[in-house]
Structure 1
Amino acid sequence: MFSSLKQKRGQQLGTLFVVLTIICFLGTASQLLTHLQEATWPFILWWILKTFVSTVVLWVPIAIGANQQQRQFNRQIVVLTLWIIGIITFTWAKFTTQPVTTTAQPSPELYVVQQVFITWLVCSGLYLFAHPLQKLCHRWSTITRRHWLISFSFIFFLINLISGYDAFGFHRGTSLIWFSYLFALGDWLASDQRWLKNWSNRRYAGLTIISLLFSSLITWLNMNHVDYSPHSDLTPNTHYLLGINPYQPFLLLTCLLMTAWFLRERNKKPKEHLLPITGILLLNLLGLPMIFTPLLLPHVNWQLSLLIGVIIAAAFAGILTLINFLGNKITWQLNYRNLFNRLKQICQNFWPVLLTFLILWLITLGSFAILWGGKFTMVQWMLTERPKIITVNVLIIFAITLILMAITNRWWVSSGITILFYLGWLDASILKIAARNEPIIPTDISTLTAPSEMLGMVNKWVIIFTLIGAIIIIAICWQLEKHVGKSCRFNPIVRIAIAVLSCAYLFSFSFANHSNSIVYKQLQNIDDTPYFYSQLRGAKMNGTLLQFANNIDVHVMNKPKGYSAATMKDLAKRYSKLGAKINQNRTHNSVGKQNLVFVLSESYSDPSRVPGMKVSGNPIAYLHQLKKHSTSGLMLSSGYGGGTANMEYQALTGLSIANFSPTLPTPYSQLVPYQKRTFTINNLFNYSIGIHPFSANLYSRKTVYKKFGFNKFYHFNGGDKITYTQKIQRSPRVSDDSAYKEVTLNLKRQPHGKFVQLATMQNHMPYEPTYYAKNNYHVSGKGFKTADQKAQIETYIQGIHYTDQALKKWINQLDKLKQPTTVVWYGDHLPGIYHGLPMGKYGTQLHETDYFIYSNAAARKTNQNRLTWQHRLVGPNNFAAMALAQMDVKVSPYYALLTKVAEDIPATSLPTNGTAKNNSAHQGGTDFVNARGKHVKLTPQQKKLFHDYQLVQYDLTAGHHYLLKDSFLKQIAK
Structure 2
Amino acid sequence: MRYFLPSKRLGFLLLALLLCGFALNFFMQAASLNMDAMSVFSWIGEYYWLYLAGGLFFFFLLLVFSMILPSVYAGSAVAAVLCIVLGIVDYKKLSTTGEPLFPWDLMLLKNAGEMSHITKGMIPPLALAAAVLLIAAVVWLLFKLPKIKVSLPLRMLFAALSVAMITGFVSMVAHQSSLAVSMKYQNIFWNQKVNYKQNGLLFAFAGNLRQSLIEEPEGYSRRAIEEIAAKYSKLPDPVPNVQATQQPNILFMMDEAFFDPTRLPGLSFSEDPLKFIHEEESATPSGFLLSPEFGGNTANIEFEALTGMSMYFLNDGSIPYQQKIVKMSSLPSIVSILKERGYRALALHPYDETFYNRNRVYPILGFDAFTSEKDLDNAGRITPEGYISDKAAVQEALRELKASSDPAFLHLVTMQNHFPFTKGHNGPNTISVEGTSPSYKDELETYTQNTKLTDEALAYLQQELLTLDRPTIAVFWGDHLPALSAGIYTDAGWDSEPRLKHETKLVMLANFNIGKEPLNTLSPAFLGPTVFRLSGQPMPPYYKLLGKVQDEMPGLSKQVLIGSNGALTAFTPEQQQLLDDYRMVEYDLLEGENYSQDLLF
Is the TM value for this pair above 0.5?
Answer: yes
Matches for 1:784-823 after TM superposition, within 5 Å: 787-823=438-474
Code of the residue aligned with 1:582 in structure 2: it is P
Distance 1:878 1:355 in 2: 58
Are 1:240 and 2:126 counterparts? no
1:640 is matched with which residue? 294
Alignment of 1:398-797 (within 5 A): 398-399=164-165, 504=172, 507-508=175-176, 514=189, 521=196, 525-526=200-201, 552-578=209-235, 580-582=236-238, 587=243, 593-662=247-316, 665-683=318-336, 684-685=338-339, 686-717=343-374, 721-722=375-376, 724-781=378-435, 787-797=438-448
- The one-character-per-residue Cα deviations of 1:325-367 (angstroms, maximum 9, x if unpaired) are xxxxxxxxxxxxxxxxxxxxxx99x98886237657xxxxxxx
User: What's 1:851 paired with?
Assistant: 506
2:361 partner amino acid? V
Q: Are 2:600 and 1:968 equivalent residues in the alignment?
A: yes
Q: Which moved more, 1:747-756 or 1:787-796?
A: 787-796
Alpha-carbon distance change, 612 to 703 in structure 1, aligned in 2, over 3 angstroms: same
| C-alpha distance in 1 between matches for 2:565 and 2:421 | 31
When residues 251 and 594 of structure 1 are mapped into structure 2, their CA distance, relative to the original with a 3 A threshold, is closer
Q: Distance in 1 between matches of 2:194 and 2:225?
A: 37
The 8 Å contact of residues 512 and 553 in structure 1, kept in 2 or not, is answered as no
Return closer, same or farther for 1:164/1:819 CA change in 2, 3 Å cut-off: same
Aligned length: 487
- TM-superposed deviation, 1:504: 3.4
Q: What is the CA distance between 1:901 and its match in structure 2? A: 2.0
The alignment-based identity, stated in percent, is 26
The offset of 1:709, in angstroms, is 1.2
Alpha-carbon shift at residue 942 of structure 1 (Å)? 2.0
Distance change in 2, residues 1:562/1:820 (3 Å): same
How far apart, CA to CA, are the structure 2 residues paired with 1:948 and 1:555? 20
- Equivalent position to 2:550, from 878, 883, 902: 902
Distance 1:821 1:641 in 2: 31
Cα RMSD, aligned residues only: 4.1
Cα separation, partners in 2 of 1:563 and 1:505, compared to 1, 3 Å = closer
Q: Distance in 2 between matches of 1:355 and 1:575?
A: 65
Amino acid at match of 2:600: F
Letter in 1 for 2:546: L
| CA displacement at 1:746 relative to structure 2 | 0.5
Structure 1 residue 946, shift from structure 2 partner:
2.1
Checking the alignment, whether the CA contact within 8 Å between 2:240 and 2:535 is kept in structure 1 is no
**Does the aligned pair in 2 maintain the 1:157–1:249 contact within 8 Å?**
no
Offset of residue 696 of structure 1: 1.5
Other structure's SS at 2:574 match: helix
Q: Which runs of 5+ in 2 are unaligned?
A: 1-11, 39-83, 90-111, 142-147, 181-185
Stretch moving more, 929-938 or 757-766: 929-938
Task: State the one-letter code of the partner of 2:499.
Answer: T
> What's 2:63 paired with?
none
Matching residue's letter, 1:629 = A
Identify which of structures 1 and 2 has the higher relative contact order when contacts are C-alpha pairs closer than 8 Å and 6+ apart: 2
The C-alpha deviation readout for 1:727-786, integer Å capped at 9, x for no partner, is 11355200111000001100111322110000011111101113244312233445xxx6
Contact 2:246 2:471 in 1 (8 A): no
Q: Is the Cα–Cα contact under 8 Å of residues 602 and 761 in structure 1 kept in the other structure?
A: yes
User: 1: distance between equivalents of 2:462 and 2:113?
Assistant: 35
Alignment of 1:856-875 (within 5 A): 856-857=511-512, 860=513, 869-875=517-523
Contact 1:159 1:167 in 2 (8 A): no
| Counterpart Cα distance in 1 of 2:502 and 2:36 | 40
Shift of 1:640: 1.2
Q: 1:949 to 1:871 in 2, by over 3 A?
A: same
Shift of 1:794: 0.9
One-letter identity of the residue aligned with 1:692 = H
Give the Cα separation in 1 of the matches to 2:26 and 2:578.
55
Question: Matches of 2:320 and 2:592 in 1, distance apart?
Answer: 15
1:229 CA displacement: 5.7
1:921-959 per-position Cα deviation (integer Å, ceiling 9, x unaligned): xxxxxx312478635323332222222222221222222
Task: Judging by fraction of residues, say which structure has more helix.
Answer: 1
Q: Which runs of 5 or more residues in structure 1 are unaligned? A: 1-152, 176-221, 253-346, 361-393, 404-500, 531-548, 861-865, 912-926, 970-974
Shift of 1:586: 7.2
Distance 1:242 1:653, change over 3 A: same
Aligned to 1:23: none
Match 1:944 to one of 549, 553, 577? 577
Q: Within 5 Å, give how 1:869-948 maps onto structure 2.
A: 869-911=517-559, 927-930=560-563, 934-948=567-581
Shift of 1:608: 1.0
Q: Cα gap change, 1:687/1:733 in structure 2, threshold over 3 Å: closer, same or farther?
A: same
- After the TM superposition, which residues 8-87 of structure 1 pair with which residues of structure 2 at under 5 Å, given as runs? none
Alpha carbons 1:731, 1:771 under 8 Å: kept = yes
**2:472 maps to 1:829:** no
**In the TM superposition, what whole-angstrom CA distance separates every residue of 1:197-244 from its partner, at most 9, and x where no partner exists?**
xxxxxxxxxxxxxxxxxxxxxxxxx9xxx9976836322355234478
Q: CA offsets per residue over residues 353-402 of structure 1, 9 Å max, x none?
A: 86237657xxxxxxxxxxxxxxxxxxxxxxxxxxxxxxxxx95x23378x
What is the CA-CA distance between 1:518 and the residue it aligns to? 13
Q: Could you tell me whether the CA contact under 8 Å between 2:240 and 2:533 is conserved in 1?
A: no
Q: What residue is the counterpart of 1:231 in the other structure?
A: 115
Distance 1:518 1:743 in 2: 39
Matches within 5 A, 1:102-181: 159=18, 164-165=23-24
TM-score (norm 2): 0.71
Q: Normalising to structure 1: TM-score of the pair?
A: 0.45
